[in-house]
Amino acid sequence: MAPNTTPSSGNASPSLSVLDAPLASPVHPTAARSPADAITVQGENTIYTDEYITSKFINRGADVVVQEGGRYVIKPTVTPFEFRTQRKVPRTGLMLVGIGGNNGTTLVATILANRHNIAWHTKSTIQRPNYIGSLLRASTIRLGLDETGKDVYAPLSDLLPMVHPNDLVLGGWDISGAPLDAAMKRAAVLEWDLQRQVAPYLKQLGAPLPSIYYPDYIAANQEDRADNVIPGTNKGAHLEQIRKDIRDFKAANNLDQVIVFWTANTERYSEIIPGVNDTAEAILASIENSHEEVAPSTVFAVASILEGAPFINGAPQNTFVPGVIKLAEQYKSFIGGDDLKSGQTKLKSVLAEFLVNAGIKPLSIASYNHLGNNDGRNLSSQRQFRSKEISKSSVVDDMVAANHLLYKTKAEVEAEQEASTGEKVKDVKGEHPDHIVVIKYVPAVGDSKRAIDEYYSEIMGGGRSTINIFNECEDSLLATPLILDLTILAELLTRVNYRELTNGPDADFKPLYPVLSLLSYMLKAPLVKPGTDVVNSLSRQRNALEMFLKACIGLEGSSDLLLETRIW
């Protein structure tokens, strides 16, 4: 893809006829720019310099000893930290793998529409461009109380200096060589009048860079699109080409930072094989040897790690095999994933948590989807569907495991089975709701995905409760804001360093751990530090992100206690 500049409002536009000229439109609040110092904390825990925001934060936890007879002994823990955030927002590029797909073209067109403030006609009104659906751009955070005792809320994006989406420099790869304006038309996601006006800007970006195509990893029905691929079968050569593409894009656009984002087809799962993909050295050797169990997405991830570019996986396959995670640790390069959480799964994480926290016991959760975009076409292949099924099926696991009053633990199930059979049973799991996921490809509905969920639960006295939900959503219009959030947060987290003050005031600042689990709110199957538990609860994910951003400016976490309203 040709070098890409980020025009300001004063730059000349592509040649347009009077008929094509963009409609004048006020800037939507979600796309408005806030001052760099929109939020300033005045307190002993926060120091501002021209270069950094430095804050002190007390991480309060608890060590628990579980004793016999249902007794718990709790020892509160207190660990002091200091966070340091670079204030200067770097010139940032976003390279999308799959830029010519539904998500890729929708994201590029949305940014261009906002950047050039292009409004468009619908059948009933004039629509302004916006970033609705973005956690950062379209949601707020409670800061505290004003002088009258009323809550004060501010945009979440104002807490710390963050990249504005309009400023992202765009580029990427695709196995289809269609120019982006033609690819947008093929995707058929956006209103025609918006496509008409934004097409000249997409045309300026040209065609995607050639991408990696290994037919075994995606559905056979994608072969007819694969006309823009890096030649040959040498995966080591492919790795070097992707690394060169990242370097060239960064240099050509004078960038400080590049984020690489996989929004291409869902791949089949890679088999985890000792000596092939279980260590950093093994995965590098397997790429050089063109091993069959190295996926295209893994090659992109490794290239990004070696180039120091954060890599986010927006699809459900196991891109981050153990060797990739270990390689990221070695290079201290950020990775995050997996699978964008846009519709049904996000709702499921909320409703399942509500039921379990209300003391109601879900017995089964049955989810059915059908959609007609290219994602649905690729998922019509069983091996690719299996990747999606795995990412969707784990969303209630942590909520179930958190309530042993409703669900028997693994130890309890083992004891029951041993008592009834007289012998120890192998591979026993704890009690869990039956959970089934079905996805069907229905071309007629296009990008408009239909999702049906049934929650069948036990209530008091052996009674039953059933909740049925029908959810219709435009898939790419929900996914695109998540890509922006993940990109912006990944960039921000590269500028945050920390040190534990228990190691002394002269301890060195360090970067965060490479696996960015703080991105979990936007992901179906969050990647976490090996050996730690996955949190799927949407409220806990949001609260963790809020608390971290507040900690970076020296504020305490959630103030939902509202103690001032409960005392004299």
Q: Give me the catalytic one of 235, 449, 453, 475.
A: 449
Q: How many CB atoms sit inside 10 A of residue 327's CB?
A: 24
> What is the structure's pLDDT at 457?
95
Q: Which helix (H) or strand (E) holds 482?
A: helix 475-494
Q: Supply 435's token pair.
A: 């959970």
Per-residue pLDDT of the chain (568 residues), as tens digits, is 654 544 443 333 444 443 455 565 689 999 999 998 899 999 999 999 999 999 999 999 999 999 988 899 999 999 999 999 999 999 999 999 999 999 999 999 999 999 999 999 998 999 999 999 999 999 999 998 888 889 899 999 999 999 999 999 999 999 999 999 999 999 999 999 999 999 999 999 999 999 999 999 887 777 888 999 999 999 999 999 999 999 999 999 999 999 999 999 889 889 999 999 999 999 999 999 999 999 999 999 999 999 999 999 999 899 999 999 999 999 999 999 888 988 778 888 888 899 999 999 999 999 888 877 666 666 555 665 565 556 556 678 888 888 888 998 888 888 888 777 777 777 778 888 888 888 888 888 877 788 889 999 999 999 999 999 998 888 889 999 999 999 999 999 999 999 999 877 788 999 999 999 999 999 988 999 999 988 888 889 999 999 999 999 999 876 677 777 677 8
CA angle 253, 201, 17 (to 5 degrees): 145
Q: Give me the catalytic one of 341, 388, 392, 550.
A: 388
Respond yes or no: is residue 410 known to be catalytic. no
Q: Which helix (H) or strand (E) holds 209?
A: strand 209-210
> What is the structure's pLDDT at 11?
39
> What is the structure's pLDDT at 437?
84
CA distance 378 to 218: 7
> What is the structure's pLDDT at 68?
87
Residues 6 or more apart whose Cβ sits within 8 Å of residue 503: none
Q: How many residues would you count in the chain?
A: 568
Q: Pairing state of beta strands 169-174 and 92-97?
A: parallel
Cα-based torsion angle of the residue sequence 345, 349, 352, 353 in order, rounded to the nearest 10 degrees = 180
Q: Give me the catalytic one of 158, 181, 338, 339.
A: 339
Respond yes or no: is residue 346 known to be catalytic. no
Respond yes or no: is residue 339 known to be catalytic. yes
Give how far Cα 449 sits from Cα of 26, 226, 390, 480, 522, Å: 31, 25, 19, 15, 18
> What is the structure's pLDDT at 9?
39
- Please give the model's pTM, rounded to 2 decimal places: 0.89
Respond yes or no: is residue 449 known to be catalytic. yes
> What is the structure's pLDDT at 505?
76
